[in-house]
Each structure stands twice: as C-alpha cells, then as structure tokens.
C-alpha cells in the first residue's frame, strides 16, 4: 500500500505575463466537481515555469460534439471536425503534444482561456 504522508509546503507562485504561453499537454485526467464531469488538461509551461490546469466539460453519452470546447481542441490538433461514431484516444492524439494558449489573471490565480488551446506553431 502506498504511504500518503507528506510535509507541508508553500503555494507555488507562477511568474507569468498575461497573454500567450507555450508548453505541452502533460496529462488529461477525468474529474468530477459538483456532479459535473470534466477532463482536466495539465499544461506544462516551457522554461520550467510550472504547470496550469484547464477543465473541459467531459463528453456526454452521445460522445464528443464537434461544437463543444473539446471538439474544438480536437479539430485544432487533428485538422479535422469530430466525426459521429469515430473513436478518439485523447492520450494518443493530445498528450505530449506542444501547445500554445492564452492565460489571464483572475485575482491571484492564472486561468487558461480554454478556447485558445492550439498546437504550438513554433513561434513565441
């Protein structure tokens, strides 16, 4: 059994500027909050700045809608609209891929502007 003992620490403060950030999609994990299901995208920032999390509504029983936020991300990374009945393995299609996205500060927290997640074009 894994031991779950940890030391207390300080909250990491990310030193960022509002606007475009470059990184990669580190992981995608399912999450349930207040009876809503999400897919949390963990985005690792270039330059060892840390990582951010962006939550996207999880697909319902009908699958991924082409008009949903997640459908938009898939279109950006695959170059194709989501097709009804087709299977999509998000780990294979998205995890580890370089990306860019916009961030803005909300109080003391940084938020990813979810509809801006795109493959990194190599620019800054």
What is residue 1's predicted lDDT score, i.e. its pLDDT? 65
What is residue 20's predicted lDDT score, i.e. its pLDDT? 94
Domain ranges of the chain: 25-95
Query: Residue 100 has which token pair?
Result: 């860019």
pLDDT digits (tens, 9 = 90+) for 12-48: 777 888 899 999 999 999 999 888 999 999 999 998 7
């Amino acid at each position: 059994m894994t031991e779950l003992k940890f030391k207390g620490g300080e909250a990491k403060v990310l030193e960022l500027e509002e606007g475009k950030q470059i990184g990669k999609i580190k992981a995608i994990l399912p999450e349930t909050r207040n009876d809503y299901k999400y897919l949390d995208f963990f985005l690792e920032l270039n330059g060892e700045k840390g990582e951010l999390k962006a939550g996207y509504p999880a697909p319902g029983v009908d699958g991924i809608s082409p008009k949903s936020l997640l459908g938009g991300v898939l279109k950006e990374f695959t170059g194709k609209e989501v097709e009804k009945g087709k299977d999509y393995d998000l780990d294979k299609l998205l995890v580890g891929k370089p990306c860019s996205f916009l961030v803005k500060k909300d109080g003391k927290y940084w938020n990813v502007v979810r509809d801006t997640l795109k493959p990194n074009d190599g620019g800054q």
